[in-house]
A and B are shown apart, each in its own frame.
Chain A
Amino acid sequence: MTPTVPQLLEWRPDQLDCAGALLMVRAAALDQAADELDAVRTGLRAAWSGSAADAAAGHTVRRQREVEQLAGTVRTAGRTLTRAADTLGAAQAALRDALDTAAVTGCRVLPSGTVEAPAVLAGAPLAGLPGQQDVADRLSQQVQSALHAAGDADAQAAAALAQLAVPQISPAPGQAGAAAAGPPPGPGVGGRPWWSRAGSLPGDVASDLLDGVTDVGDAVLDTAGYALTHPQESLPLLADTAEIALGAFGMAVGAAGEVGGTALDATGVGAVAGVPINVASAALIVGSAGLAAHGARGMSQDLSTMHMRARPREPMTGEREGDTAPGFAGLEQSREEIAQAAYLHSGAPDNPRRPNFSEIMAALRGPGRQIEGRTAFEYRYGDVKVYVNGDMPWRSTAVKKGAMPVE
């Protein structure tokens, strides 16, 4: 299906990417299960012979194949979702670019993707200028192109998922009804909703506001300090600033061209020169608005990146290389994979107290500590706690102050 503008804006490629990565982790766990079955079969073969042993070995091989097949299906699904997330993310970015430009030029974007020239000029002396309609047409093409790219990505992902076959497992004796019992209950909402804690709300809110202001202040100071000590990494920020300035200048020149072209159009004879000037000016406005919007977005990303880099970076845990943290040596999952697993188990998407992915990653950069008597490790970042399951990292979870962990 080809999405509408609101639909594409609502889609979450980052969540799709997270689901894809988590499926890859699940596939790896299934691979391990298949290896374990092979190891059990080999061990039994060395210690047990006879017709019963032959039957047991055959049974084990069959289950091993089924587990391998399920792992393959899950892995392919994960790759499919990750690919779709990339394409949808690019389409969404292109759509946002066009919407930014439309906002700057006063064009109106309809849900279908059609773009209308500025309505404020309808009926006015400048209404119906060829340049303005040209701006709207160009933006309409950009929006339609983004919507179609998203629709194609959705169709391709759906087709790929439709082709995936799940092995038909014959249930073990006494297990016949198990498969029809329905899916297990999904993860619930972590903790009570905030409105059910109205009794303690004022104190919480004040504390959260204070924490938030402190965090923002720290972030600004961290980022500014980093920019001063790493001037070479401030270059993208300067470049984006220049883009904004250049875009604003281009829009001003384009607007002047529109006015001049319109004045020529009004003379009648001068329309021969005025119309091309209108068209060229409109193109300049669109291009300049896009440039300015791109610069603004780039500036936001630059600041975000610099802030992330400004944070002190501790030795990583759960990372494939250089992993020396106690209890995590040899862990196959990367820190990012563990963060994705924890994020997915951190509560419902609409839970206002659900930690975000960046907070979980920030927590996992910390030193962490092993929970006494358990194989789990706890990492903290502000009021976010991440619990990494040492035995089953894909079941790790994260909580924010006041919320309950969800598995």
Chain B
Amino acid sequence: MAGQVVVDLGALSRAQVRLTGLGGDLAGLDVRAPLAGVAGAVIGSAAAQQAARLADEAAAAARALSGAIDAMGTATGATAEGYLAADRSSQARLAGLGTR
């Protein structure tokens, strides 16, 4: 398998923190309430019906994005852990060969 991997594990950890935080921010961003509030502002209107539909869709999208970005953060952290585990494994193998 050809290829080159250069990685700064500190940068991966920082990215994990930022992505997880961003996922949390999006989870707290309520895009539904303003749109759902249209129903009470213009009762029985056609705009209220469309706003209600959009409220559910936008809220679902924001929720999915929040989860997806949070998952990216988790994956980034796991990647850093994976690289560290590979490094430790290599060290152990080399130690077993008596090269340390």
Residues of chain A at the chain B interface (Cβ within 8 Å): 1, 3, 7, 10-13, 15-16, 18-20, 22-23, 26, 29-30, 33, 36-37, 39-40, 43-44, 46-53, 56, 59-60, 63, 66-67, 70, 73-74, 77-78, 81, 84, 88, 154-155, 157-158, 161-162, 164, 166-175, 178-179, 181, 183-184, 186-187, 344, 349, 392, 394-395
Chain A contacts for B69, CB-based, 8 A: 37, 63
List 8 additional contacts besides A29-B29, A47-B7, A52-B79; criterion CB under 8 Å.
A1-B46, A10-B43, A16-B41, A50-B5, A77-B35, A157-B50, A158-B46, A186-B33
Contact in complex: B45, A154 (CB < 8 Å): yes
Q: Is B92 positioned at the interface, with any CB of A under 8 Å from its CB?
A: no
B21 to chain A minimum Cβ distance, whole angstroms, is 9
**CB-defined A-B contacts under 8 Å, sample of 26:** A11-B42, A12-B40, A12-B42, A19-B37, A23-B31, A26-B31, A30-B29, A33-B25, A40-B15, A40-B18, A43-B14, A44-B76, A46-B11, A66-B65, A70-B61, A77-B58, A78-B34, A81-B47, A166-B57, A169-B60, A175-B68, A178-B63, A183-B59, A184-B32, A187-B33, A392-B25
Question: What is the size category of the interface that chain B forms with chain A?
Answer: 35 or more
Q: How far is the CA of A67 from the CA of B42 in the complex (A)?
A: 29
Q: Is the interface of B mostly helix, strand, loop or mixed?
A: helix
Q: Is B6 positioned at the interface, with any CB of A under 8 Å from its CB?
A: yes
- Pick the residue among B19, B58, B71, B79 that contacts A74 (CB under 8 A): B58
Q: How far is the CA of A169 from the CA of B50 in the complex (A)?
A: 20
Given contacts A3-B45, A23-B31, A187-B33, contact A174 B7 (CB under 8 A): no
Contact in complex: A167, B61 (CB < 8 Å): yes
Chain B contacts for A39, CB-based, 8 A: 18
Q: How far is the CA of A151 from the CA of B34 in the complex (A)?
A: 22
Chain B contacts for A164, CB-based, 8 A: 54
Tell me the number of A-to-B contacts counted with CB atoms below 8 Å: 204
B47 to chain A minimum Cβ distance, whole angstroms, is 4
Chain A contacts for B7, CB-based, 8 A: 47-50, 53
- Pick the residue among B37, B58, B72, B76 that contacts A344 (CB under 8 A): B37
Q: Is B3 positioned at the interface, with any CB of A under 8 Å from its CB?
A: yes
Contact in complex: B41, A15 (CB < 8 Å): yes
Given contacts A23-B35, A50-B6, contact A77 B54 (CB under 8 A): yes
Contact in complex: B71, A173 (CB < 8 Å): yes
Contact in complex: A19, B68 (CB < 8 Å): no
Given contacts A1-B45, A183-B59, A344-B33, contact A19 B38 (CB under 8 A): yes
Q: How far is the CA of A392 from the CA of B25 in the complex (A)?
A: 9
CB-defined interface of B51-80 with A at 8 Å, one 1/0 digit per residue?
A: 101111111111111011111100110010
- Pick the residue among A30, A36, A84, A172 that contacts B70 (CB under 8 A): A172
A337 to chain B minimum Cβ distance, whole angstroms, is 12
Chain A contacts for B26, CB-based, 8 A: 30, 33, 67
Chain B contacts for A16, CB-based, 8 A: 38, 41-42
Q: How far is the CA of A308 from the CA of B10 in the complex (A)?
A: 54
Q: In the complex, what residue of chain B is closest to A80 when comparing beta carbons?
A: B47
Q: How far is the CA of A48 from the CA of B56 in the complex (A)?
A: 38
Q: In the complex, what residue of chain B is closest to A78 when comparing beta carbons?
A: B34
